[in-house]
Amino acid sequence: MLFHAGNDAAPDLTPAHVRDRLAGRAARDGGADAALTPAAVLLPLVTHPAGMTALFTERTAHLADHAGQVSFPGGRVEPGDRDAVAAALRETEEEIGLAAKSIEVVGSLDVFDTSTGFAVTPVVGLVAPPLALTLDAFEVAEAFEAPLGFLFDPANRRRESRMHRGRRREYWVIDYQGHTIWGVTARIVVDLCAVLDACDTEDHR
């Protein structure tokens, strides 16, 4: 099921601005640690006339990894993938039925390493509405959009922490209409905010 965003959508953040800020930021495969598994996600920005939104998925509750969590479509880079961009586009079509020809890839954010053993490349793509999605019922419980204006507002995010493998880790949390966006997904959102010059240059890691 696709939930549409409200009117809280940062009209000054235009597709042209996104293209300009992401220009030259090509995806690179892998991170600093060669032992990590390369992976990629697509951050789809939907170009509504009233302002852009980000498209998220919520994983199904029965999955072995990250069950029920909010995420972006994506997964590991497979041997048949040309690069991280190809992996992100392939996974997006498999998970939500959004074809590569419908996505304008404009660049990527920095690769970052996860505590679960992946080096993740976030690929940013522009998508024109209306969206005709076909969700993979095994992996994806629903898809929803959230306005960039809401996501980028510092008042709507907070820092939390938890112990993981003997270390205390801090992470971002964003609550939106009953959905909790946190961890890697929230970090990608805050990274995008910084790259687009849409928020203060705080410590967003």
Tell me how far CA of residue 57 lies from CA of 70, 116, 121, 165, 170, in angstroms. 6, 20, 17, 27, 23
The answer to whether residue 102 scores a pLDDT higher than 60 is: yes
CATH code of the domain containing 176: 3.90.79.10
What is the chain's Cα-based Rg?
Answer: 16
Domain count, the chain: 1
Whether 203 maps to a domain, the answer reads no
Residue that is written with structure tokens 């993981």 in the block: 164
Whether 55 maps to a domain, the answer reads yes
- Residues in contact with 31: Cβ distance below 8 Å, sequence separation at least 6, in sequence order: 38, 111, 112, 113, 119
State both tokens at 113. Answer: 């390493």
Q: How confident is the model at residue 10 (pLDDT cuts 50, 70, 90)?
A: low
Spatial contact of 144 and 151, defined as CB atoms under 8 Å apart: no
Q: Note the pTM of the prediction, 2 decimals.
A: 0.88
What would the mean pLDDT of 71-86 be, rounded to a whole number? 95
Q: Which domain holds residue 9?
A: 2-195
pLDDT in tens, 16-58: 999 999 998 876 555 556 788 999 999 999 999 999 999 999 9
pLDDT in tens, 143-192: 999 999 999 999 999 998 776 566 767 789 999 999 999 989 999 999 99
Whether 134 maps to a domain, the answer reads yes
Cα separation, 130 vs 48, in Å, equals 9
Whether 151 maps to a domain, the answer reads yes
**Looking at residue 69, what is its pLDDT?**
83
Whether 25 maps to a domain, the answer reads yes
